[in-house]
Structure formats: C-alpha cells, structure tokens
Amino acid sequence: MTVEPVEDKTIPLSGPITLYEVAAVRELLAAALEEGRPFQLDLRDSGPWDVAGLQLLISFIKTGRSRSQAVHLVEPPRACAELAERSGLGEWLQSAVG
C-alpha cells in the first residue's frame, strides 16, 4: 500500500477583510475546513483589515487546529500585522505564519 502525501491547499484572500466581507469569507473558509486537508491562507493581496477580519482568522485557525488540521497564514500584510499588534495578538499572528 502506498500513501500519498497530503499537500496543503492554498486559499488566496484578496481585497478587504472587514466587517462587511466577513460573512462571505467565513463561508469560503468553512467550506475549506470541511475538506479536512491542511490549509494555507495566502493573505498577501488582502486588506484593509479590521477587528472583525482578525477575529475571523483566529476562529478559522482555532477551528482547524481543534480538528487536527494544519492551518497556516502566508504573508500577512502590514495592515493585518499592525492590527494584531494593537490588539495584543502580534505573537499569535507570528505563530500562525507557516
């Protein structure tokens, strides 16, 4: 029997991740979690960010990890990193980058 390695799925997020977009982004991320595969969220083209967007990231990563799914962030933009720092979550954000 041969076991194929499971590749991380990359989900690119672009544009604003604010209160106005989180419902649509939440649906996208929930569908991705249902696949049960490891994920990377590519954030390089995302922004602006607000606290609702940051909360969504935290929830997504926490849910993935509770299901033993590897979930990592790729290239969080400066706006996201600054928001995390101001919110006392700078270290958490760095720990989620993979």
Q: What is the pLDDT of residue 54?
A: 96
The pTM (predicted TM-score) of the whole model is 0.85
Looking at residue 39, its pLDDT comes to: 87
| Mean pLDDT to the nearest integer, 2-28 | 84
Helix (H) or strand (E) holding 26: helix 22-34
CATH class, domain 9-96, is alpha beta
15 backbone φψ class: left, alpha, beta (φ>0; ψ -120 to 50): left
Calculate Rg over the CA atoms of the chain.
13
Q: Report CA-CA distances (Å) from 84 to 10, 27, 72, 79, 88.
A: 22, 23, 16, 9, 6
**pLDDT tens, position by position, 36-52:** 889 899 999 999 999 99
Cα(62)–Cα(33) distance, rounded to whole angstroms?
11
